[in-house]
Amino acid sequence: MTDTSTPAPGITATATGGVTAIPGLLSGKVAVVTGGAQGLGLSMARSLVDSGAKVVIGDMNENSLAAAVEELGGAESAAGVVCNVSSLENVEKLAEAATRTFGGVDIWINNAGITRDATIRKMTEQQFDDVISVHLRGTWNGLKVATGLMREQDRGGAIVNVSSISGKVGMLGQSNYSAAKAGIVGMTKAVAKEVAFKNIRINAIQPGFINTAMTAAMPQHVIDSKLAEIPLGRPGEPEEVASVVLFLASGLSSYLTGTVTEISGGRHI
């Protein structure tokens, strides 16, 4: 009987046993990750690089970009581009940089995001517009540019859109964020139908309570209340989100498109 508790030699795993990288799985592939200079985006980029891809990360923070590229192995395996995803022109330049530096785009991860939380009574129009612009317009911009480029290349491709469990259930004080993340689900399904005939696959993920700097800063009583809703009894790790992105970005998921994967430990099932 095969022992499945320990990954095969060379395969990188999380402390919980999940696979985060499979050497050679993405050899010859070029990936773009928006919001990739830190947090979940950087974990995704690291998983892609460790699996053999060349990665271009787009982010607003120039200093974080430089540090991330260095962490990912330098210019041989990664590049960074200052990019505001709410600008179609910026996203086009991000794609152009990937093509110029590494020869095209095979994988595109729409991950960039912000929060501007407030109840609807206190939320300003600007707070609403900012979140919709980055998440929903930003994802649309990424889809428009990535699918256009992939169609021209005529070799297919994989796109992963980062939604959120907030887009499934709606969260207090997040009418802007929940609306944007729900919209990403509908957008994923619509565009997946439009480009499937070109072998371009588009899927979405919905992370739940993930162990990041943002969640670590929450008051302990808030953390405890969220953990009580999770059947697995713990927060997810960034690497566990990255492993699902790796699966959806690779040929391992070659017959999946238009799907939404919850990465929530069973919360809100």
**Residue that has been written with the tokens 């590049």 in this structure:** 79
Residue 203 zone, left/alpha/beta (φ > 0; ψ -120 to 50; rest):
beta
| 177 belongs to the catalytic site | yes
The whole-angstrom separation of Cα 122 and Cα 203 is: 34
Q: How does 29-47 read in b/e, with b if 16+ C-beta sit within 10 Å? A: bbbbbbbbbbbbbbbbbbb
| Structure tokens that stand for 21 in this block | 């990288």
The catalytically annotated residue of 128, 140, 177, 247 is 177
The contacts of residue 65 (CB under 8 Å, 6+ apart) are 37, 57, 59, 80, 81, 82
Q: Would you state the torsion angle of the CA atoms of residues 104, 110, 115, 121, taken in this order, to the nearest 10 degrees?
A: 130
Catalytic residues: 177
